[in-house]
Amino acid sequence: MRIISRCFMAILVVAFSCSLSLAADHELAQKSTLNTILKRGELRIGLDAGYMPFEMTDKKGDIVGFDVDIAKEMAKAMGVKLVVVNTDFDGIIPALMADKFDIIISGMTINQERNLQINFAQPYMVAGQAILLHKKHEGKITSYKDLNDPKYTVVSRIGTTGEQATKRLISKAQYKSFEKEADGAMEVLNGQGDAFVYDLPFCAVFMAQQGGQKLVLLDEVFTYEPLGFGIKKGDPDFLNWLDNFLIQIKADGRYDRIYDKWIKGTDWLQEIQ
């Protein structure tokens, strides 16, 4: 009888533990941002509209770009309306934590520092740092290593991986930061800086748009930088949905169409201010 009783008690303990686990899982799912989005009927994305070709303002005043088109597909898959919340990049993580929007989709590089604060879905693109070089240095400077000298002034955007890469790998050069990447690139275009360090997609677009006879693009990237969607921690259901969303759009051709339009193509430049 004692053996039977002990076995019965063990079964009860296991059943009770499973019941508690299922209840906890259900409660976690109910609290998920994904569930909130579906109930609200809106997907709110946070981005900083000034990073070509990921997010920028067109001549009509609408925010467009690679990230926006990805977000449109995301909202469509959820069956909800897309709401874009334009937010300065250096405050975008605090804004997410303050519930100003549901997800960061703003060309954000996944790194350990940011990952301590928020979670990331699997990378939706892998980019890296490239260099826009003033034409006067053509042939003399062929990589970031050649810029590592106090006689050069290297420029990037404050609070970005371009700034981090410059300070880490080109530390001997003089460094100047700007609030917007376009302003930093213009500094070099106007001859006030020697090189602009930033993500290759932006550098390639700026070169096509304004480079002309004054800039040289060193397009061999010297960092590995995966870009990811950022969400608040403690939300496995939303994270799972995002990972599977990426798998699906990359498999059915939607991702390639968006990539070809904004990353490979430049026809959209005529619609931008």
Alpha carbons 226 and 209: distance in angstroms, whole number: 25
CA dihedral of 91, 175, 212, 62, whole degrees rounded to 10: 10
Q: From 255, 203, 201, 226, select the one nearest 108 (Cα to Cα).
A: 226
pLDDT of 145-198, one tens digit each? 999 999 999 999 998 999 999 999 999 999 999 999 999 999 999 999 999 999
Higher pLDDT residue, 209 or 176?
176
Alpha carbons 255 and 66: distance in angstroms, whole number: 10
pLDDT at 43 over 90: yes
Alpha carbons 189 and 132: distance in angstroms, whole number: 9
DSSP state of 156: E
Higher pLDDT residue, 27 or 261?
261
Q: What dotted CATH number matches 129-223?
A: 3.40.190.10
Name the strand (E) or helix (H) holding 182: helix 181-189
**Fold matches, 33-126+227-271 and 129-223:** yes
Domain 33-126+227-271 grouped into CATH 3.30.565.10: no
Strands (DSSP E) found in the chain: 42-47, 56-57, 63-64, 81-86, 103-104, 119-120, 125-127, 129-134, 153-157, 174-178, 195-199, 215-218, 225-227, 230-231
Note the pTM of the prediction, 2 decimals: 0.74
Cβ neighbours around 43 below 10 Å, total: 26
Where b means 16+ CB within 10 Å and e means fewer, 197-211 reads bbbbbbbbbbbeeeb
Q: Look up residue 146 and give its two tokens.
A: 């050649």
> Which of the four pLDDT bands, split at 50, 70 and 90, describes residue 52?
confident
Return the pLDDT at 126.
86
Return the pLDDT at 11.
60
User: What does the domain layout of the chain look like in residue ranges?
Assistant: 33-126+227-271, 129-223
Q: From 131, 198, 193, 134, select the one nearest 160 (Cα to Cα).
A: 198
